[in-house]
Amino acid sequence: MSFLKLENKTFLITGVANKKSVAYFSAKTLEENGADLIFTVQSADAKEKVEKFFPGKKVFILDVENEASITDLGRKLQDDKVTLHGFLHSIAFANYSEGMKPFHETKLADYLQASNISCFSLVAMSNAIKPVLAADASVVTISISSTRATNYGYMGPIKASLDATVAYLAKSFSADTKVRFNAVCSGPLKTSASAGIPGYIDNYLYAEQLTMRHEALETQEVANTVAFLMSPASSGVNASNMVVDAGMGANYFDEKVVEAYAKRT
């Protein structure tokens, strides 16, 4: 058996939108290490796509804005007598259709929708699948390395709420289980979802220069961290926000970046 001990364990995966997504890379890494997978997607088109990516795996359509849909997922898993050893929450949405605005101009409807989908869905789904979670299961959500980055707009505070939610879920579940909850807080990545954020590309290129190796963070590196946290090898890690940013957060005054800026002024 391998160090991660993922063989013959079953994991619920959300958020596989395409082959560039963190969820896709994480699912492939888990599968390559012997795990079985169950997926949720938001539409019939996405279901067809995931079935091609992962032939033979169960794929459920789930609307996280619909409480009944989430409850139904939990019921279906119970009916199938599934035991989940882990759950990857990789769901996020923000309405940037009007472009990036100053935070104080955020519309209440947009904020509430984004909060429901990107944060509260972790609570609702965890509650719905609790009966089928193994006693020592691991739940991992995908967050961001800096919730104060301006380019994320109102998603920054919502991701900060997600980070806090991880700890509260860990506390709540500890009353009668050993289920762990952790967040992987990723630095900027080259994904299709991030490309839709106004101004993201410039921030991505800037972040690449701030990593200590001056090379961009790879999605596979984030997926490796997810796999570790989902595995029994990380049994001592709980209620944590694990930053994966290639050292960017400790390197804001990188000499090369400072020198390049100084030459422009």
Confidence check: pLDDT of 196 > 70: no
What is the SS3 assignment for 133? strand
Confidence check: pLDDT of 193 > 90: no
Pairwise CA distance, residues 245 & 222, whole Å: 9
Q: What is the mean pLDDT of the chain?
A: 94
Pairwise CA distance, residues 96 & 110, whole Å: 9
CATH architecture, domain defined by 10-200+216-250 = 3-Layer(aba) Sandwich (3.40)
What is the SS3 assignment for 92? coil
What pTM does this model have?
0.95
7-11, 91-95, 197-201: least confident range: 197-201
Confidence check: pLDDT of 198 > 70: no
Q: How far is CA 247 from the centre of its chain?
A: 19
Largest Cα–Cα distance in the chain? 65
242 has which bridge partners? 184
Per-residue pLDDT reduced to its tens digit, 114-133: 999 999 999 999 999 999 99
What is the SS3 assignment for 155? helix
Confidence check: pLDDT of 104 > 80: yes
State mean pLDDT over 95-101: 86
Confidence check: pLDDT of 34 > 70: yes
Task: Please indicate whether residue 174 or residue 207 has the higher confidence score (pLDDT).
Answer: 174
Confidence check: pLDDT of 9 > 80: yes
